[in-house]
Amino acid sequence: MLMQALKVEDYTFSYLDTKNPALIDVNLEIAKGEIVVLAGPSGCGKSTLLKSIVGLIPHMYSGSWSGKVIVDGAEVSKTKISELAKKVGFVFQNPENQIFMFSVERDIAFGLENLALPKDEMRQRVDEALSLLNLKNLADRAPHELSDGQKQRTALAGVLAMKPSILILDEPTSLLDPHTAHEVIGTVQKLNKNLGITVIIVEHRLDLVSIIASRLVIMDNGRIVANDAPKKVYNNSEALKAVGMPIMASLHKELGGIGEPPLSVDEFVSVLKIRND
Amino acid sequence: MIEFDDVSFRHQNGVMALREINLKIATNTLTAIVGENGAGKTTLVRHINGLLKPYQGKVLVFGEDTKKQSVAKLSRKVGIVFQNPDHQLFSDTVENEILFGLRNFGIEEKHDRLEWALEFFDLSRYRNVSPMLLSGGEKKRLCFACVLAWDPDVLILDEPTVGQDYKHKEKIVSMINNLLQKGKTVIIVSHDLEFLWPQQPRTLVMSQGKIIADGNIAEALSDDSVIKQANLVRPQLLALAIALGLKPPSNVKEAAKVLAR
């Protein structure tokens, strides 16, 4: 079995009629089962990279490129977008841009209907997605009757029913209240653990997501400037300049930076207590 | 001064969105409104520029009842930057979008205001571009530019940090400080408590149409039952201070000073 979910190799892309490439010499490998957080300032190339993974580039946007993007063994430029849609699931920032059917259940089935799956298999996949995301009791509800967290879970369920090998989340929590945001992040972690699905999350708030990430990738000006375990990246002040240093890492540094930087308040407090004992 | 006197509001579908709100917001202060999705935060601020009128009670803005004034007149004084830029933007170019409000209010130095707004919000290079072609973060900055251009006395920012990166969040902080220095009243509706914390605003916590806590941000977020009811998670420096029994530090430098002892 292929152990690699994504391989981006010496990849450079320029949009049509632009002078500067949006991505320059990007190299990135993601193993199956990883949770990778992708961060970087506006215009750093994150969106272009995501579009190149889901196949919108080069199939829908014109431009020139060199190098390769390989998703689950398939080279994106040589694979039909309908084939890629089975491999990569995409959850948007605003679930309202994604869910639109009359009921939660029908919404989850929508993607499967487009794949023209047999009815039995559709039923089974919808049921699985409903139970994975704890939506069984809401199956008949209309999307507008749902809370924002439930809407985002419905969007996730619709994407997971397609059984993608990679799940991409583009700022999935920015419209949610803090508690619901943590809940959605917890759900993503659970899905990763139980299904082994590979996850790429784009997020500005590193504080919220670093704790579940196996890797943190930071982009700036079309290039990858850091790509390592979150704690290693938290020690790389230069790369963090582009995204702002997370609060606990910044406090750790301010206090002399001895040992590994903590990813959360709880971790900071427990390290402090051990040290004081 | 903005005053809510026993204000309730009912949506057309019968849902009570605000319940007996009593509130005073003094001129030239910073106020944050936080709380779960659907708590009534946006409904509350839309009463301040008269977009919504109370079902019961009254709202006074600079002493005048909003029911007796037009939205056009009120919005000259009270500018709202909406949560979703797509609900606000409609012109063919960025420049015309900013000029729209300036022309409507008959502001004389409109070209100076336009140049200032384009420059401050990092939008000059998009002057002749359609707003619809901007990224989400850029659209949001354009909404700030449009409203700040006509220089209202009260600024209401609904979820200002959504889609904004670190650099632009810093820019929003400096914009808020700048407004406060100029004597403006600023009200921020936000889920981003980490963004609000260093500014130490007066904070109103809303849940199910009511204000359930009101005070300095540390006080307002001190009660566990308030946090739970309003679906909040405490800002990290406050959580840290509570875990260690310290006086809450407003920023990392202050926290380090206390902890180094």
How many Cα neighbours within 13 Å face the side chain of A81? 11
The answer for residues whose C-beta is within 8 angstroms of residue A106's C-beta and 6 or more apart is none
Residue A270 sits in which domain range?
Answer: 247-277
CA gap A137, A45 in Å, rounded: 40
**Predicted local confidence at residue A142, as pLDDT:** 87
Q: Are residues A60 and A174 in the same domain?
A: yes
Residue A74 contacts B where some CB pair is shorter than 8 Å: no
**Predicted local confidence at residue B208, as pLDDT:** 94
Sign (positive or negative) of CA dihedral A165, A171, A173, A178: positive
The predicted-structure confidence for A62-114, as pLDDT tens digits, reads as follows 899 999 999 999 999 999 988 998 899 988 777 777 777 788 998 899 888 88
CA gap B163, B173 in Å, rounded: 15
Q: Are residues A132 and A224 in the same domain?
A: yes
Q: How far is A121 from chain B (nearest CA, A)?
A: 36
Residue B159 contacts A where some CB pair is shorter than 8 Å: yes
Contact state of A177 with B232 under an 8 Å Cβ cutoff:
yes
Contact state of A179 with B36 under an 8 Å Cβ cutoff:
yes
Residue A184 contacts B where some CB pair is shorter than 8 Å: no
**Predicted local confidence at residue A111, as pLDDT:** 86
Q: Are residues A143 and A79 in the same domain?
A: yes
Q: DSSP assignment of A170-193, as one string?
A: ESTTTTS-HHHHHHHHHHHHHHHH
Residue B232 contacts A where some CB pair is shorter than 8 Å: yes
Size of interface A-B (CB pairs under 8 A): 92
H/E element holding A90? strand A88-91
Best of A46, A185, A205, A251 to substitute, by most chain B Cβ atoms within 10 angstroms, is: A251
Q: Which residues of B touch A177 (CB under 8 A)?
A: 35-37, 191, 230-232
The answer for residues whose C-beta is within 8 angstroms of residue A165's C-beta and 6 or more apart is A5, A32, A72, A87, A88, A197, A198
Residue B35 contacts A where some CB pair is shorter than 8 Å: yes
Instruction: Write down how long chain A is.
Output: 277
| CATH (domain of B189) | 3.40.50.300
Parallel, antiparallel, or unpaired for β A35-39 and A215-220? parallel
Least confidently predicted of A99-103, B155-159, B242-246: A99-103
Quick one: average pLDDT of B181-199?
Answer: 96
| CATH (domain of A201) | 3.40.50.300
Q: Are residues A167 and A270 in the same domain?
A: no
Q: What is the DSSP letter of B86?
A: G
Q: Are residues A158 and A89 in the same domain?
A: yes
Residue B109's φ and ψ, nearest 5 degrees, are -85, 45
Q: Which residues of A touch B163 (CB under 8 A)?
A: 93, 171, 174
**Predicted local confidence at residue A149, as pLDDT:** 77
Q: Are residues A199 and A173 in the same domain?
A: yes
Quick one: average pLDDT of B54-58?
Answer: 96
Residue B95 sits in which domain range?
Answer: 2-233
B8 part of a folded domain: yes
Tokens of A97: 């841009």
Quick one: average pLDDT of A3-19?
Answer: 92
**Predicted local confidence at residue A1, as pLDDT:** 54
**Predicted local confidence at residue A43, as pLDDT:** 81
CA gap B97, B102 in Å, rounded: 9
How many Cα neighbours within 13 Å face the side chain of B175? 27
ipTM field: 0.84
B153 part of a folded domain: yes
The predicted-structure confidence for A150-198, as pLDDT tens digits, reads as follows 888 888 889 888 889 999 998 888 778 888 888 889 989 988 998 899 9
The answer for residues whose C-beta is within 8 angstroms of residue A142's C-beta and 6 or more apart is A102, A103
Contact state of A177 with B36 under an 8 Å Cβ cutoff:
yes
B251 part of a folded domain: no
Confidence tier at A222 by pLDDT (50, 70, 90): very high
Q: Which residues of A touch B193 (CB under 8 A)?
A: 178
Contact state of B165 with A247 under an 8 Å Cβ cutoff:
no
B162 part of a folded domain: yes
CA gap B258, B255 in Å, rounded: 5
Give the total number of structural domains in chain A.
Answer: 2
Average pLDDT, chain A: 89
Q: B261: nearest CA in chain A?
A: A255
B135 part of a folded domain: yes
**Predicted local confidence at residue A202, as pLDDT:** 93
Quick one: average pLDDT of B211-238?
Answer: 96
pLDDT at A147 over 80: no
Q: String of b and e for A125-145 (b: at least 16 CB within 10 Å)? A: bbebbbebbebeebeebebee
The answer for residues whose C-beta is within 8 angstroms of residue B28's C-beta and 6 or more apart is B180, B183, B184, B185
Quick one: average pLDDT of A12-22?
Answer: 90
Give the total number of structural domains in chain B.
Answer: 1
**Predicted local confidence at residue B189, as pLDDT:** 96
Tokens of B137: 């973060």
**Predicted local confidence at residue A2, as pLDDT:** 63
CA gap B159, A59 in Å, rounded: 35
Quick one: average pLDDT of B177-200?
Answer: 95
The predicted-structure confidence for A29-67, as pLDDT tens digits, reads as follows 999 999 999 999 888 999 899 999 999 999 999 899 999
Confidence tier at B171 by pLDDT (50, 70, 90): confident
Instruction: Write down how long chain B is.
Output: 261
- Which long-range contacts link A14-22 to residues 24+ away (Cβ below 8 Å)? A14/A63, A14/A64, A14/A65, A15/A48, A15/A61, A15/A62, A15/A63, A16/A61, A16/A62, A16/A63, A16/A64, A18/A63, A20/A222, A21/A222, A22/A48, A22/A222
**Predicted local confidence at residue B31, as pLDDT:** 98
Nearest to B252 among A42, A178, A254 (CB): A254
B252 part of a folded domain: no
Q: Which residues pair with B70 in a beta bridge?
A: none
The predicted-structure confidence for B99-129, as pLDDT tens digits, reads as follows 999 998 888 889 999 999 999 888 999 999 9
Q: Are residues A149 and A258 in the same domain?
A: no
Contact B230, B201 (CB under 8 A): no
Least confidently predicted of A2-6, A54-58, B78-82, B215-219: A2-6
B56 part of a folded domain: yes
Q: Are residues A117 and A230 in the same domain?
A: yes
B240 part of a folded domain: no
